[in-house]
Amino acid sequence: MTQWKLAQRAERMNPSVIREILKVTEKPGIISFAGGLPSPKTFPIADFARACATILAREGEAALQYAASEGFPALRQWVADQLAKQSAAAGVPWAVDPDQVLITTGSQQGLDLVAKILIDAGSTVLVETPTYLGALQAFTPMEPVFASVSSDDEGVMLDDLRAKVAGATGARFMYVLPNFQNPTGRSMSPKRREDFVAAAAELNLPIIEDNPYGDLWFDEPPPAPLAARNTEGTVYLGSFSKTLAPGLRLGFLVAPKALYPKLLQAKQAADLHTPSFNQRVVAEVLKDGFIDRHVPTIRALYKSQCEAMLAALDQHLAGTGITWNRPSGGMFLWLNLPAHMDAVKLLPMAVEHNVAFVPGSAFYADNPQTNTLRLSFVTASVDQIKIGIAALALSLKAAL
């Protein structure tokens, strides 16, 4: 029988912890705060149906044919215009050239492409503490050494950043998610952004800025992207998964012109191009200012669900020594349990109470804080949130 010999990098790949957890939580009747699934109520199904019909009737042959690896021109233009508009409104103008925009098969693919062109085996990659699990999974096959930079409520801590850069021989980049971070829900403060960008420039440290949640603010938009402040030193990743729908797998990146050709070559080798049909359908949906009418409805829904979750946490867990943050947007919030508690061990007990979460330890490149957990407030309804948090509180208090 043929023996397959695996590449070294394959030995480092592991099943997604979250994926395995989600399997456990698939039992009927469970209220899950575990997954990061946008509320399907927000999907503009009728608009997609109209756009599919229009595209197939008007330009079916082109929409179903092979297409350029860079992406559909009208969609690249929309991304450039939208980022320029948002950055200008946030006070830091950013002149995005559509030629810098690469359409990707979800923003996850952007992480894969960045990893391929920037990480050698043994390269140091800096990440936040904690950080997005999907980024760790995308980077890991290229065999980096991760260095976790300490973070506080305002974001990356600059003293530790300097120490970690000094301790590495040529860190390739730092990966940051400045707005409503996955997993914590926290955002980088305006002052910290300014200082972080300045420090990165001074340290000659490239930045990979991931912004899937930036549009999901509750009361006011986040500050301008880091990329707007450091255009040549930042690759910016964005997504349509949270503002339209994830099932189309449409994301994008904006790269400095010096880096773009290599990302494009990696993209071409990875899947030739992102589905042209999906790109044209989304460009059709987005024209005429659709996003400005649609996203406010998502914001209002998620804000109401976040408030319901915070109210329920206040009601059931105040004074227990368990603490949590109050996100100003996004999809997640973060609980800190007393130091002796291990969220991995608590999960089966919660599942017995018909409620699920993700243990925080999944989100650390090293030295996991086992007494943390992530709650999503977007998938469950307000009524489910009330019931689910009451159940979660019961199981946590039983363990206290």
CB of 309 to a second copy, least distance (A): 21
Closest CA to 152 of 179, 127, 194, 187: 187
Could you give the string, one character per residue 89-128, with x where binding to a second copy holds by CB under 8 A and - elsewhere? ----------------xx-xx--x---xxxxxx-x-----
Stretch that binds a second copy, among 81-89, 196-204, 219-227, 303-311 (CB under 8 A): 196-204
What is the size of the binding site for a second copy (CB under 8 A)? 90
Q: What distance in Å separates the CA atoms of residue 342 and residue 399, rounded to the nearest whole number?
A: 10
Stretch that binds a second copy, among 133-141, 149-157, 159-167, 321-329 (CB under 8 A): 133-141
Closest CA to 365 of 170, 160, 131, 152: 131
Kindly tell me which of 263 and 313 has the beta carbon lying closer to a second copy. 263
CB of 186 to a second copy, least distance (A): 23
The H-or-E segment that residue 290 falls in is helix 290-317
Whole-number Cα distances in Å, 398 to 24, 226, 320, 353, 393: 21, 44, 11, 11, 8
User: For a second copy, which residue of 278, 328, 372, 376 counts as binding (CB under 8 A)?
Assistant: 278
CB of 275 to a second copy, least distance (A): 4
Q: Which residues in the 42-81 window bind a second copy by CB under 8 A?
A: 43, 45, 48-49, 52-53, 56-57, 60-67, 69
Using rule CB under 8 A, residue 142 touches a second copy: yes
Output the DSSP codes for 184-218: T-----HHHHHHHHHHHHHTT--EEEE-SSTT-BS
Stretch that binds a second copy, among 81-89, 161-169, 177-185, 227-235 (CB under 8 A): 227-235
Using rule CB under 8 A, residue 170 touches a second copy: yes
Using rule CB under 8 A, residue 10 touches a second copy: yes
Stretch that binds a second copy, among 26-34, 174-182, 253-261, 316-324 (CB under 8 A): 253-261
Sheet strands (E) in the chain: 31-32, 101-104, 124-128, 145-149, 151-152, 155-156, 173-176, 207-210, 234-239, 251-254, 323-324, 332-336, 355-356, 358-359, 372-376
